[in-house]
Amino acid sequence: MRQVILYIAMSLDGYIAREDDNLDFLARVERPGEDYGYEAFQQTVDTVIWGRRTYEKVLTFGQKVLHPGKKIYVLSRTRTGYVGNVEFYGGDPKALIASLREQKGKHIYCDGGGEVVAALLKEHLIDKLIVSVIPHLLGSGIRLFRDGRPEHLLTLTKSLTFPSGLVQLWYDRLPDAASSPNR
């Protein structure tokens, strides 16, 4: 079955961006020839889910084609239509994920932002989390994990450390926390 995989970076104190959407802290771990497994991960997915703000931020990076060969869904309450391989989707994320899971294909890559992650976690739609922790304390900004989400049980499947200080944590989501015997 196709899995929804969150693959994202955050500061040690849990922020994915500054309050103004600035991502400059990510440059602290940039090293020539090191992509932290990103290219290998990209080979396992054929669909991308972004929020509108993440999409607009990625456009500022100057890429002409975003994720060539992949279908991109941008969750948006304000935009509709298509731009190349990008579809703006204003419906229920749960319905979108259910539809994608019914289709043949590779896994589904979620790359934020915070609102999208919160919406998918609320519905228990993220199957795997791959979180790269940047050795930096931002102090404030846009949190990866917002308050008010339901409890999720996770199991660590892999952890990687890199000379830059980045630590990458791989977690699988276990069955619904509400069914946990400790509740």
Q: What are the residue boundaries of the structural domains of the chain, listed by start? A: 4-13+38-179
Q: Is 133 helix (H, G, I), strand (E, B) or coil?
A: strand
Under 8 Å between Cβ of 72 and 87: yes
Distance, in Å, from the CA atom of 78 to the CA atom of 90, rounded to the nearest integer, reads: 8
Model confidence at 175, pLDDT cuts 50, 70, 90, reads confident
Name the CATH code of domain 4-13+38-179 (choices 3.40.50.2020, 3.40.430.10, 3.30.1490.20, 1.20.120.450). 3.40.430.10
Whether the CA torsion 122, 13, 112, 173 is positive or negative: it is negative
Under 8 Å between Cβ of 170 and 127: no
* 44-103 residue pLDDT tens: 999 999 999 999 999 998 887 789 999 999 999 999 999 999 999 999 999 999 999 999
pTM of the model: 0.92
pLDDT (0 to 100) of residue 180: 47
pLDDT (0 to 100) of residue 63: 80
Average of per-residue pLDDT values in the chain: 93
Question: In the predicted model, is pLDDT for residue 183 greater than 90?
Answer: no
* 121-166 residue pLDDT tens: 999 999 999 999 999 999 999 999 999 889 999 999 999 999 999 9
